[in-house]
Amino acid sequence: LSPLEVAEAYLRRVRELDPGLKAFLTLNERLLEEARRVERDLPLAGLLVAVKDNIATKGLRTTAGSRLLENFVPPYDATAVARLKAQGALVLGKTNLDEFGMGSSTEHSAFFPSKNPFDPSRVPGGSSGGSAAAVAADLAPLALGSDTGGSVRQPASFCGVYGLKPTYGRVSRFGLVAYASSLEGIGPMARSVRDLALLMDAMAGLDPMDATSLDLPPRFQEALEEPLPPLRLGVVREGLSGNSPGVERALEEALGVFQGLGLRVKEVSWPSLPLALAAYYILAPAEASSNLARYDGTLFGTRAEGEEVWQVVEATRARFGLEVKRRVLVGTFVLSSGYYEAYYERAQAFRARLKAEARALFQEVDLLLLPTTPHPAFPLGGRPDPLAMYREDLYTVGANLTGLPALSLPAGFEGHLPVGLQLLAPWGKDELLLRAALAHE
Ligand code: GLN
């Protein structure tokens, strides 16, 4: 098959099936032309990638799921996208997300919610729900998501695909629409571990455009050829109850699989993990309130009408969705004089403690196993209470607060719905995560 034939086949499939799933916000209108012209000897020649719509794509609308950016066409590519393109990959289209990445279901998209391919009455997860749904339904072979508090891993688990949140800084954030800069990064989603490796080898590495990017050269595909040593696998249970029966069963089964592969399973404790959610929902909104201040219609954000500048600003910012407004208000509050010490500073101190505990834990074990989510995909409209929506992120935010790499792998079903489990590794050991996931596959 030529790149053109593959692109035509995928476009046909998207046109047929996406009206039911609503995974895409924008399709790349130039795809066929690009497929015709792609240099055939490049390593990723013609590989189609769906890109979450908070990742900048040159000449292709990038909305971040928000009315504020609904007409924004970036004049540049995110580094991750530029590197994929340089190897011959093509952007198939841009996928739906919760506005600015704020949510766990894609229901906070300013445009429409996406649906779970396993059950269209349920959410695909979020915020990278469009990417997960597209990969699960094979509307795209591969996708990029972003993960601030679980947005690659949770939708991957709800849709039965693999998703990696790399070590903080391993993939450049240049061109990722900022939500909470100290927590987030771009990560790959795919139906196999080898596909994750393919994307990581192309995307990861130092980038002069992102001062927090790491000089850790990726060696994912190479690492997958090495046999898995008899690692120590820690499993955290204390303080983390309330999982659905299917999640508990998947956990037991996976422990069995890993034991069969020669890993030594050990119960460990990460005492502060149950509190990570509270710290996350202070720190993430705090950073968001600062990052989103730029969308006031003067330089950034679709400008609303108004006589005076303050009226322009007010009318422009009124276009934020309800959840975004809530986060900006919470963030402004926890950073304000008199409350800063009580909330922001304590959350930062907690973050340091969580990191120290993780460091100690990884003296005892080489990998950690946790559920990705407490239960499989919930119904559309099933989490009207914002706090209930936040609680969905119980197991995922720990990796973001610590910067550690974490991978969600498909681990069975509860009824007709996929269940995912999460592996965590020490800082910079992303390759090890993929080796363990491949052995499990
Ligand atoms: N659900 C979390 C939030 O709303 C995580 C989102 C994300 O990782 N982008 O903040």
- Give yes or no for residue 249 having a pLDDT over 80: yes
Q: For this complex, say whether ipTM is above 0.95.
A: yes
What is the rounded (10 degree) CA torsion for 38, 40, 43, 46? Answer: 50
Distance CA 25, CA 214 (A): 31
* Mean pLDDT estimate for the chain: 97
Q: How many angstroms separate the alpha carbon of residue 46 from the centre of ligand 1?
A: 31
**Binding-site residues, ligand 1, Cβ < 6 A:** 101-104, 127, 146-151, 179, 284, 393
- Give yes or no for residue 175 having a pLDDT over 90: yes
Q: How many angstroms separate the alpha carbon of residue 146 from the centre of ligand 1?
A: 9
Which atom, in ligand 1's list, is nearest to the CA of 102? 4
- List Cα–Cα distances, 258 to 169, 230, 231, 268, 437, in angstroms: 29, 10, 9, 16, 10
Please list the alpha-helical segments (H only) found in 138-275.
153-159, 193-203, 220-223, 245-260
Q: Which residues pair with 410 in a beta bridge?
A: 420
Closest by CA to 155, choosing from 199, 192, 118, is: 118
Report pLDDT for 238: 74
**Coil, helix or strand at residue 106:** coil
Pocket test for ligand 1, best of 148, 277, 282 (most atoms within 8 A of CB): 148
66: preceding bond cis by omega (within 30 degrees): no
Which atom, in ligand 1's list, is nearest to the CA of 392? 1
Number of Cβ atoms within 10 Å of the Cβ of 256: 11
DSSP letters for 330-392 = HHHHHTSTTTTIIIIIHHHHHHHHHHHHHHHHHHH-SEEEEESSSSSPPBTT---SHHHHHHT
Report pLDDT for 241: 79
Distance CA 369, CA 407 (A): 10
The rounded Cα 343 to chain-centroid distance in angstroms is: 26
pLDDT band at 237 (very low <50, low <70, confident <90, very high): confident
Q: How many angstroms separate the alpha carbon of residue 393 from the centre of ligand 1?
A: 8
Please list the alpha-helical segments (H only) found in 22-139.
31-37, 79-86, 129-136
Which atom, in ligand 1's list, is nearest to the CA of 150? 8
1-441: in CATH 3.90.1300.10: yes
The structure tokens listed for 33 are 């032309």
Q: How many angstroms separate the alpha carbon of residue 126 from the centre of ligand 1?
A: 7
Closest by CA to 441, choosing from 219, 132, 264, 190, is: 190
- Give yes or no for residue 181 having a pLDDT over 80: yes
pLDDT band at 240 (very low <50, low <70, confident <90, very high): confident
- List Cα–Cα distances, 72 to 180, 228, 401, in angstroms: 20, 46, 30
pLDDT, mean of residues 133-160: 98
In this structure, the residue with its CA closest to atom 10 of ligand 1 is 102
For 291-347, the pLDDT digits (tens) are 999 999 999 999 999 999 999 999 999 999 999 999 999 999 999 999 999 999 999
Q: Looking at 104, 105, 151, 289, which residue is catalytic?
A: 151
Task: Identify whether 127 is a catalytic site residue.
Answer: yes
Q: How many angstroms separate the alpha carbon of residue 162 from the centre of ligand 1?
A: 18
In this structure, what are the phi and psi dihedrals at residue 188, rounded to the nearest 5 degrees?
-85, 150
For 387-434, the pLDDT digits (tens) are 999 999 999 999 999 999 999 999 999 999 999 999 999 999 999 999
Task: Identify whether 105 is a catalytic site residue.
Answer: no
Task: Identify whether 151 is a catalytic site residue.
Answer: yes
Q: Looking at 66, 109, 127, 146, which residue is catalytic?
A: 127
Which atom, in ligand 1's list, is nearest to the CA of 323? 4
For 37-77, the pLDDT digits (tens) are 999 999 999 999 999 999 999 999 999 999 999 999 999 99
